[in-house]
Amino acid sequence: MSKAIKALLRAMLGSLRDLLPILLVIVCFQLLVLQQPLPDVWNLLGGALLVVLGLTFFIFGLEMGLFPIGETMAYAFARKGSVAWLLLFSFALGFGTTVAEPALIAVAGEAADIAAQGGVIQKDEDSMRSYATGLRLTVALSVGVAIVVGVLRILKGWPIQYLIMGGYIGVVVMTAFAPEFIIGIAYDSGGVTTSTITVPLVTALGVGLASSIKGRNPMIDGFGLIAFASLTPMMFVMAYGILVS
């Protein structure tokens, strides 16, 4: 049996182990607390199987493709020694992965629908699409800027705690001035950016970059980019809400 098949089977067993507690909780509460039979047992089992397969292929794909390519490109840019190209790549990576983030697409669409119902924007398809697109681009822009700041932190050796504290102070200040309808969306936007597509590539970039620069510790300097990616969208979305209103 080839190494790839063995690795795939190990990933599948790991996904099943991770999913098993969730299934046990659902079954126990359904049978013992609610005291009702499981609805659509075959659909439940089929859905659980699909989740296991989906998690397996996703994790296997990350380990086989996304993590290595992120680290390899970080090494290549570090050897090239061009800070400008590295920062441009960092921005493009943050922007591109966030625009394609499924969670952000879902939240932006829901936000546009609620904004139309609340009278914030006109209740027509063009206005709702424009609002959702503007929200997605704003979040993507903020993540691109965040990754640039995080890469500069790695290059310069800046302490992350001061940057994070300063950022959250800015979030609190902007909350006092932002329209009420955008605050919840802004706070949620910080969470949806740290999802399936953005996290693996951005983490690989940070670890690879810190590993390739002399004097940097991957454990200390390689992580932290995701913190910036979840911080800046809050400020940018609140600013977007101020402009839209």
**pLDDT given at position 72:** 74
Residue 224: pLDDT band with limits 50, 70, 90: confident
pTM for the structure as a whole: 0.76
Tell me the pLDDT of the chain averaged across its residues: 83
Of 27-41, 90-104, 126-140, 227-241, which range is least confident? 27-41
| pLDDT number for residue 123 | 83
Q: What integer pLDDT is reported at residue 171 of this predicted model?
A: 93
42: exposed, middle or buried (Cβ count in 10 Å: 0-12, 13-18, 19+):
exposed
Burial 98-132 (b: 16+ CB within 10 A, else e): bbebebbeebbbebbeebbeeebbeeeeeebeebb
